[in-house]
Amino acid sequence: VNFVVSQLFALLTALWFRLYLHPSKTSPFIRHVVATLLGFYLALFCFGWYALHFLVQSGLSYSIMVFASLEHMHNAWSIQRQSTPAEGLVTGPEMLPRLAVSSDIHLGGFKPADGVASAPPHPLPTHPPADGDILSGVRRPSSPSWETPGSLLSAQLLMGPPHSCRYTRGPFVPLQKKPWPITRVYVFDYGMYSADFTGPMMKYHAVRRMPSLLEFLSYNCNFMSILAGPTCSYNDYTAFIEGTGYHPAHQEMANGKENGKCKLSEPSPKNDVIYKLCTCAVSLGVYLALCKVIPVERSIDPSFVTSAPFYQQVLYLYLAMLALRPKYYFVWTLADAINNAAGFGFNGYKKDGSPRWDRVSNLKIMDIEFATSFKMFLDSWNIQTALWLKRVCYERCPINPTAATFLLSAIWHGVYPGYYLTFLTGTAMTMAARALRHNLRPHFQTSDSRRQVYDVMTWAGTQVAISYTVVPFVLLAVGPSLKFYRSWYYCMHLLCLLLVLALPVKARHLQVKEQQQQQQQQQQQACLQKEECVLGDDLQSNHHATTDNNCNKKDT
């Protein structure tokens, strides 16, 4: 209840913030102060004194940024971040101590206590959990039990308060992700880490000026995202505060090029906010109506497993996961609406000239429900976190980046065995889906009817694969998870193994090389076309000039 009340208050405050504290009327300093104070107020309302963790965590990170040298800033900051093991690189010397400290905090911070209700983890395999796990409807097999102040503090750094808002660690998740790009990947551009700036997006996200303490606290603890995110880049947030996010130059840097028609007037987010609020209402209604009717735990009930035919078990599992997802649709869409209502989230214009407000959107519901590939499903779920994982791990890991990203996600979630079973299965699913698509898809692109058949087949396969993969994420414990997989005879695991071994797939470095060659060829063709156009224009202009001269001579 506290979460919903706080988010509704944040929505109304966001409207006031955009209208009465507009950048044209108010200085960035005032906007930073108001956004930060309102964020702390919401944190205090939900968590009481536990909200001090927001201040302590941000303060420690900022102190390291101030006092640590640029060469060692990311290492010192990584050691400090070991108290919240959601962060870190999967490569480099920081990994092993982070694993040890993370496990100590997870295991030493709480004891199992059956019967304590808390929110289920988010139901997807490769991304960190929702930035606000709320509306708990599933019981964990074990939940935190608080006994000593030390264990309480340790567990709170990881899990969040045990009873406020009825969710575990969601609000601390966006805070954990935010300072990291400033201090490790996109370090201050003094020329010392120029190798990190290899692409336009890296250069765009690079922080070239040391943030003030107020700016840093505002970025981490503003009222729009302190409870449910989503994650955003520091440069995008400062552009929103300063009122430069609507400028064409900013949009061109962010998107590569400006889409559609360019408008000088500031776009209104009213229609998008109304649409997203309606989506929230529908999602919440669907979740409350179905979450108790189709529990995931029934899929491992012995009477159901022995009596129901296999096709019915498959259908039930799909429906159970379908009933679980609207909870996250509600949380993330409401958070997106709050940011849009404040004027944050503008992402250029569509081809028809209408504004796009999806810069901080965290999901694409229709793409999720009708995904025809494993990758399409994952790319549409928890989008901002997926981009974060891509920037900090996938693009930077030289060896098997897919498995490394899955491992980082698993470590970030905690020590529940279900997390690791899910991510292990997810790695196999991703590799098998890639091999299957690479070898099978070309045979179905010869006609429209074949493409439709392929889409139906891949949609059904994707939904079953996702549902099968995330069951341990919901059940958490080893026993129930393996019990479910045994009831399915590990069929999906065996199928993935068979596909990976039987179907050839090009190595990643070869695929990257081919893509680079194709891009170079396309650029060369584009340059040739431009030269031909310029040459043609010059010839045409010369022809007109010659004709005009001849006409002038005749007239004289």
* Per-residue pLDDT tens over the stretch 297-324: 999 999 999 999 999 999 999 999 999 9
Does 326 have pLDDT greater than 50?
A: yes
Average pLDDT over residues 446-474: 92
How far, CA to CA in Å, does 71 sit from each of 17, 95, 349? 39, 18, 40
pLDDT band at residue 242 using 50, 70 and 90 as cut-offs = very high
* Interatomic CA distance for residues 332 and 385, integer angstroms: 12
* Interatomic CA distance for residues 98 and 82, integer angstroms: 6
* Interatomic CA distance for residues 125 and 390, integer angstroms: 15
Cβ atoms of 235 and 245 closer than 8 Å: no
Does 390 have pLDDT greater than 50?
A: yes
- What's residue 104's pLDDT? 40
- What's residue 94's pLDDT? 34
* Interatomic CA distance for residues 300 and 138, integer angstroms: 14
* Interatomic CA distance for residues 64 and 79, integer angstroms: 10
Angle between helices 401-413 and 95-108 (to 10 degrees): 30
- What's residue 46's pLDDT? 87
Closest C-alpha among 152, 104, 143 to residue 121: 143
Work out the angle at residue 381's Cα, subtended by the Cα atoms of residues 116 and 162, and round it to the nearest 5 degrees: 20
Closest C-alpha among 223, 232, 175 to residue 204: 232
Average pLDDT, the chain: 74
Residue found by looking up tokens 């989230």 in the block: 345
* Interatomic CA distance for residues 130 and 169, integer angstroms: 10
Cβ atoms of 331 and 317 closer than 8 Å: no
pLDDT band at residue 9 using 50, 70 and 90 as cut-offs = very high
* Residue 382 among the catalytic residues: yes
Active-site residue identified among 205, 413, 439, 544: 413
Does 169 have pLDDT greater than 80?
A: no
* Residue 543 among the catalytic residues: no
pLDDT band at residue 528 using 50, 70 and 90 as cut-offs = confident
Query: Which residues are CB-contacts of 208 (< 8 A; sequence separation ≥ 6)?
Result: 188, 189
Average pLDDT over residues 357-368: 93
49-63, 99-113, 195-209: the lowest-pLDDT one:
99-113
Average pLDDT over residues 181-192: 39
Per-residue tokens: 265: 């007037």
pLDDT band at residue 189 using 50, 70 and 90 as cut-offs = very low
Neighbours of 99 (CB within 10 A): 14
* 17-47 pLDDT tens trace: 999 999 999 999 999 999 999 999 999 998 8
- What's residue 58's pLDDT? 85
Helix (H) or strand (E) holding 95, with range, is helix 95-108
* Interatomic CA distance for residues 235 and 202, integer angstroms: 12
Residue found by looking up tokens 């129930």 in the block: 480
Active-site residue identified among 347, 382, 400, 443: 382
Does 389 have pLDDT greater than 70?
A: yes
Cα–chain-centroid distance for residue 190? 29
